[in-house]
Amino acid sequence: MRSLRRDPGHLPELIVLHAQRSLARGAKEWAERAVGDESRSALRAGRAARAAARMDGLASGTPFLIALVPGYVAALWEQARLALRLAAMSGRDPASMETAAELLVLRNVHPDATTALSALREAAAGERESLGKGVRGRASVLWELGRRILLFAAFLDAPEHERSVFFQVLSFIAAGLVWILTCIFPLTFMALMAWSCETATRRLDAAARDAWLPELPDPGRESPAQFGRRVAALALVTGLPVLILVHGVTTGNMLVTGVAGVSGLAMALMLSILVSRQT
């Protein structure tokens, strides 16, 4: 934490380096135990990481944003654990700077391993990232830092996957409307965060397999039926509060809306307790 406060400009790099120090040894031991059963071990690791990320996402979406940062960091931690395990299985050293650079590239924080490696060395040496000169210079640097952090957290698509300006504007408006809704119905935000964390973990799993373990049998991407069930569940949790709110406004019976909000808060607290007991 002291390093992050001292050098927030290298936040993604510092998180990855810290994850390596804590998880690399365990990843190497896991890979050694998986020898001879690589395919099933990698599949189980992916499933476990997605399940953990889903629960961490639920926790991060609890009311009043009290668990947003620790919950989402826990999800990122599970993703780092999965990536380092797959790296070790491929024969890479999960504790090496080169593996950390590859991980940052997989997370779309840097365009290539050379750039990522340079940033990692600066972070490890304690070299602070310059905030630029003048208002425009600082604004440009802070904008780029924010973009890299959002890419690292999987809140933004990689540059090659970015949509048109029109689509981005629509997405921004939709995100704003959803944010307003989640302030009224906390359960909705919990569902969205669970979706986000699980989806980001699924994408990282696929990217790491493609980059490091292409020889393993493809476990199969998410089927249309599986995706449909996830969309239906998200639509139910998101759409039901809207219907309750519309009913309360049109009938003048705002008590229904209040009860729904309290129920969402109670469920959020219960889920938080459940998550804390499982971690």
Q: How confident is the model at residue 152 (pLDDT cuts 50, 70, 90)?
A: confident
If we measure between CA atoms, which residue out of 107, 83, 82 comes closest to residue 13?
Answer: 107
Helix (H, G, I), strand (E, B) or coil at 214: coil
**Helices 134-152 and 11-33 sit at what angle, rounded to 10 degrees?**
20
Q: Residue 184: is its pLDDT beyond 60?
A: yes
pLDDT above 90 as % of the chain: 29
Looking at residue 250, what is its pLDDT? Answer: 66
Domain residue limits, the chain:
2-278
List CB contacts of 162: < 8 A, sequence separation 6 or more.
Answer: 168
Q: How confident is the model at residue 28 (pLDDT cuts 50, 70, 90)?
A: very high
**Cβ-contact 99, 122 below 8 angstroms:** no
**Cβ-contact 151, 107 below 8 angstroms:** yes
Q: Residue 245: is its pLDDT beyond 80?
A: no
**Most confidently predicted of 96-105, 130-139, 189-198, 228-237:** 96-105
Q: How confident is the model at residue 145 (pLDDT cuts 50, 70, 90)?
A: confident
pLDDT above 70 as % of the chain: 58
Computed over every residue of the chain, the mean pLDDT equals: 76
CA distance 122 to 116: 10
The owner of tokens 């290298």 is 10
Average pLDDT over residues 113-139: 77
Looking at residue 231, what is its pLDDT? Answer: 62
In order, the DSSP letters of 255-274 are: HHHHHHHHHHHHHHHHHHHH
Q: How confident is the model at residue 135 (pLDDT cuts 50, 70, 90)?
A: low
Q: Residue 271: is its pLDDT beyond 50?
A: no
Q: How confident is the model at residue 278 (pLDDT cuts 50, 70, 90)?
A: very low
Cβ-based neighbour number of residue 146 at 10 Å: 11
Cα torsion through 93, 99, 100, 106, rounded to 10: -140
The owner of tokens 């009913």 is 247
CA distance 83 to 29: 14
Average pLDDT over residues 136-151: 72
Tokens, residue 210: 């493609």
Looking at residue 269, what is its pLDDT? Answer: 46
Looking at residue 70, what is its pLDDT? Answer: 86
Rounded to 5 degrees, what are φ and ψ at 61? Answer: -95, 10
Looking at residue 134, what is its pLDDT? Answer: 63
